[in-house]
Structure 1
Amino acid sequence: MEQILQQFGIAGTNSGVSTGSNILKAGGSEIVSFSPVDGREIAKVTAASRDNYEEVVKTAQSAFEAWRLWPAPRRGEVVRQLGEALRADKEALGRLVSYEMGKSLQEGYGEVQEMIDICDFAVGLSRQLHGLTMHSERPGHRMYEQWHPLGIVGIISAFNFPVAVWSWNSMLAWVCGDVCIWKPSEKTPLTALACQHIAAKVFAANGVPEGVSCLVTGDRAVGEWMSADGRVPLVSATGSTRMGKAVGAAVGARLGRALLELGGNNAIIISKDADLDMSLIGCVFGAVGTAGQRCTSTRRLIIHDSVYDAFKAKLVSAYKQLRIGDPLDEQNHVGPLIDKDAVQAYLKAIEACKQEGGTFAVEGGVLEGTGYESGCYVKPAIAEVKNDFKIVQHETFAPILYLIRYSDLDEAIALQNGVPQGLSSAIMTLNLREAEQFLSQAGSDCGIANVNIGTSGAEIGGAFGGEKETGGGRESGSDAWRAYMRRQTNTINYSTKLPLAQGIKFDL
């Protein structure tokens, strides 16, 4: 790991503030990054002061004046080169993601691959930032719409995807002509430093203005400065619903834009017509992947009465085969939770479930002994519950899977929708009518609805996001680029007269 840290210019104590290649002397408090894998200190980062933040914003404003005038395909070429740099550093960055965050090494590599994929997507997008042409009701007139960059995009990312979500926002924002200020999670600052290091080298080689890619590390105060700052027209925030409500209120108070990707409470419906063996893979990975710390993690299984006992038995058997341990060992399935606070939240959720009458088919608990010295390793648990339990209505960022019975599809869909969150959902069925009903207007109320795949994971080609307390934002693919631009409608009169719309007469 020491070699990887040196590769990305990370060692000892580091400044957590930069405007690209220019690393500022940070004036805030010190953040120590501990690995949940073994509990060891990796490195330190000095957070931004308010003066640091002001300097970064001013540099970003100046950079925007120049960057927005670069042709979009030229901006796309820079992003293409960044994708190539990420390909070259995929193994090292993936290992750092795994070690600092605690997700499995395969998931660490997958996260970097997701960054590479969004670079590829953004390169193509740089030649497709198109508007519409419309027929005017007035003779000798032409109407069309075009899209212009917004300016500074503030990005607040979470620990569970410490680099991928930044890339979803920044790559699209950059080809759109925006500049970015990134506030990473204070739990995973080193992966952010590594990404900034990679981007800075590519940007410097292409003469990109200083301030197009900025990093401001710190605690929630940095997010509060950004959310209240009228110089930042868009704040994209990923995290808990509680955090999102605070960001949304602050940004809304100044009539700015907030792109919010918040909590999930995702369910898979297991139909009587499901392929149970195939369903098992999606359910188990969805529940225990990243130790249950994905916003798309499977929290609930809504299982038809006729297959409930059989599928529960399959789950219990599969959980007995899970290997929990060092995520850099590719033989293990489940790594640690991010820290001991997350462990306490996991234990409290288990106790709350029992207090409400839940029974555990697979008991949870904290693992101790050799290999578990960090105190962050827990057992994935399975509980039989009712959907209206308070703890079931709440998102717990841990590997606790709730089982719920149903008897007909209308009931199952109502149970699926009967939580405050609305991110990801799925149904496992070979019945075409059931699949179509699940995807219909009367079906899932989530932003993501899948058939015969799980809730966890998403391809960058589709817009990612959810409804209700998930926030309503959309990132990554499809037409998500529009969030990073402002729409302008243009009317051109090429006639010799000036008729008014709606037939209004105004003669002098």
Structure 2
Amino acid sequence: MRRCGADLDAAAATGTEGADTVLARTPLTGGTFARLPAATAERTDAAVDEAHRTFHHWRTVPAPRRGALVKRLGELLTAHKEDLADLVTIEAGKIRSEALGEVQEMIDICDFAVGLSRQLYGRTIAGERPGHRLAETWHPLGVVGVISAFNFPVAVWSWNTAIALVCGDTVVWKPSELTPLTALACDALLARAAADAGAPPGVHRLLLGARACGERLIDDPRVALVSATGSVRMGRQVAPRVAARFGRCLLELGGNNAAVVTPSADLDLAVRGIVFSAAGTAGQRCTTLRRLIVHEDIADRLTERMVHAYGQLPLGDPFDAATLVGPLITTAAHTAMAEALATAQRDGGKLLTGGDRCFATEAPDAAYVRPAIVRMPEQTEIVRTETFAPVLYVLTYRTLEEAIALHNDVPQGLSSSIFTQDQREAERFLAADGSDCGIANVNIGTSGAEIGGAFGGEKETGGGRESGSDAWRAYMRRATNTVNYSAGLPLAQGVNFL
């Protein structure tokens, strides 16, 4: 296995060493290769204070000029794409193509945001009073606190930051403690972009630290919006604390995504879409496919093909171009996977393939695990629970109504898909009483969303929307304006007064 530093050890189980230190580690070996100073309470408060003060200037800068900063960031990301992708692979364990794809996603969202900087449209509204104009305008919101997760260490930050900056907000970023080097690299590139574009350095501040750092950010009333990506448990803690101070939340939480496969499906296409969605990123995407709901007439045939495809997946060093499955982020993730598989089998499930750990001799502190497929007799509690690892549960159905009910019978509601060549089945799945997820796809898997659409989900996924479409509105405040250009003062609803 590739070594990623001279000072490798097994001390980093979670990526943090203490309140004063953040450990830079790699899931490729499970070892640590740097110790970085963590943000103190005073440093956190100072970062928010600087961002808050900078906001009062930044919000007055014309939006196209704010877009020039993001344009420059996109240029620097393009120039350093390979280097940043290396860091993503080292810290998150992503295979090379996925790491490069994540950086490309950053470049794409910068392009989107630059165009958006000239399209922050309000609207004119039909009013009832003569000589009056009724309109809606959008204004910068304030400081945006971004809390991101390890599995997309740079892309999710860019979704929030590029949009927030063109909207006139400033950003304070608390990245995952598991990926501090990618965060430092992004912060350095944005600082350079700010200098090149003539923007104040306080438009963005980085805080390396663990839970206490994030909690201080969440509780600060100067942070107008907290955009947090992580587990449902984390969201349950964040939302009420932000609400208690009447701040805003944008939550991107867990997913327990399913694909329905109907008898009319193109199985060649379905297998490709399923394997990428279920095994890509070693099952560590919020959009990872975790439940496969297959018509009983084709279940045996599709399952056999899936098992064969899984057997062909190259697992190992993510820097190797042939590798398709890299390591889990920590050995604790493998423990959770093993426990889930054991529970599923106690519930009557049959493990068809995978679940075993590889390279334990070469990398004893890393967790290389073969993606697993489990045939389940019913949707038990463990199937309804998200396990952040490559575990795919296979369930069967008889009618499409039964499949949709099974699909929706989980607490999460992020991404979904159906494989079918029947237009009626596709439209039924996309209808109001079909998939209850924020993302519903036809003939593609649950992973791989484009930046042009709004990304997010319903139910315990949190209800937030990031990236494209009109997701920018979450980063701004709305004002309704009435302008009286007449000489009279008619009141609305025909009210007479004085």
Report Cα offsets for 1:387-441 as digits up to 9, x if no partner. Answer: 4311101000001110001111111111111100000000000011100100011
Aligned match of 2:492: 501
> In structure 1, what is the Cα distance between the partners aligned to 2:263 and 2:474?
41
What is the RMSD of the two structures over their aligned residues, measured on CA atoms?
Answer: 1.5
Aligned match of 1:306: 297
Aligned match of 2:329: 338
Equivalent position to 2:320, from 320, 329, 335? 329
Q: TM-score, normalised by structure 1?
A: 0.93
AA partner of residue 405 (structure 1)? T
Equivalent position to 1:77, from 62, 68, 81? 68
Three-state SS of the structure 2 residue aligned to 1:32 is strand
Report Cα offsets for 1:14-49 as digits up to 9, x if no partner. Answer: xxxxxxxxxxxxx95111111111233232221111
- For residues 391-470 of structure 1, the aligned pairs below 5 Å read 391-470=382-461
- For residues 35-434 of structure 1, the aligned pairs below 5 Å read 35-369=26-360, 371-434=362-425
CA contact (8 A) 2:22 2:208 kept: no
Report Cα offsets for 1:461-485 as digits up to 9, x if no partner. Answer: 0000000000000000000000000
Report Cα offsets for 1:166-205 as digits up to 9, x if no partner. Answer: 0000100000000000000001111000000111111012
> In structure 2, what is the Cα distance between the partners aligned to 1:230 and 1:363?
48
Of 470-479 and 495-504, more deviation after overlay is shown by: 495-504
CA contact (8 A) 1:60 1:180 kept: yes
| Deviation at residue 87 of structure 1 after TM alignment | 0.4
Three-state SS of the structure 1 residue aligned to 2:480 is strand
| Deviation at residue 80 of structure 1 after TM alignment | 0.8
> In structure 1, what is the Cα distance between the partners aligned to 2:424 and 2:362?
49
> In structure 2, what is the Cα distance between the partners aligned to 1:371 and 1:319?
23
Q: What is the aligned residue count?
A: 484
> In structure 2, what is the Cα distance between the partners aligned to 1:106 and 1:371?
24
> In structure 2, what is the Cα distance between the partners aligned to 1:221 and 1:487?
32
Three-state SS of the structure 2 residue aligned to 1:442 is coil
Three-state SS of the structure 2 residue aligned to 1:233 is strand
Three-state SS of the structure 2 residue aligned to 1:323 is coil
> In structure 2, what is the Cα distance between the partners aligned to 1:286 and 1:151?
36
AA partner of residue 203 (structure 2)? V
Report Cα offsets for 1:115-157 as digits up to 9, x if no partner. Answer: 0000000000000001110122111111111000111000000
Equivalent position to 1:33, from 15, 19, 24? 24
Which 5+ residue runs of structure 1 have no aligned equivalent? Answer: 6-26
CA contact (8 A) 2:167 2:476 kept: yes
> In structure 2, what is the Cα distance between the partners aligned to 1:77 and 1:207?
9
Aligned match of 1:20: none
| Deviation at residue 369 of structure 1 after TM alignment | 4.3
CA contact (8 A) 1:381 1:401 kept: yes
Q: TM-score, normalised by structure 2?
A: 0.95
| Deviation at residue 253 of structure 1 after TM alignment | 1.1
Aligned match of 1:483: 474
Which 5+ residue runs of structure 2 have no aligned equivalent? Answer: 6-17
CA contact (8 A) 1:367 1:375 kept: no
Three-state SS of the structure 2 residue aligned to 1:235 is strand
CA contact (8 A) 2:228 2:250 kept: yes
| Deviation at residue 446 of structure 1 after TM alignment | 0.3
| Deviation at residue 321 of structure 1 after TM alignment | 0.6
> In structure 2, what is the Cα distance between the partners aligned to 1:420 and 1:196?
35
CA contact (8 A) 1:178 1:484 kept: yes
> In structure 2, what is the Cα distance between the partners aligned to 1:296 and 1:209?
36
Report Cα offsets for 1:47-82 as digits up to 9, x if no partner. Answer: 111100111111111111111111000111111111
CA contact (8 A) 2:58 2:168 kept: yes
> In structure 1, what is the Cα distance between the partners aligned to 2:432 and 2:378?
22
Three-state SS of the structure 1 residue aligned to 2:187 is helix
AA partner of residue 244 (structure 2)? A
> In structure 2, what is the Cα distance between the partners aligned to 1:346 and 1:231?
40
AA partner of residue 284 (structure 1)? V
Report Cα offsets for 1:79-115 as digits up to 9, x if no partner. Answer: 1111011000001101110111101111000000000
> In structure 2, what is the Cα distance between the partners aligned to 1:30 and 1:205?
32
> In structure 2, what is the Cα distance between the partners aligned to 1:369 and 1:138?
75
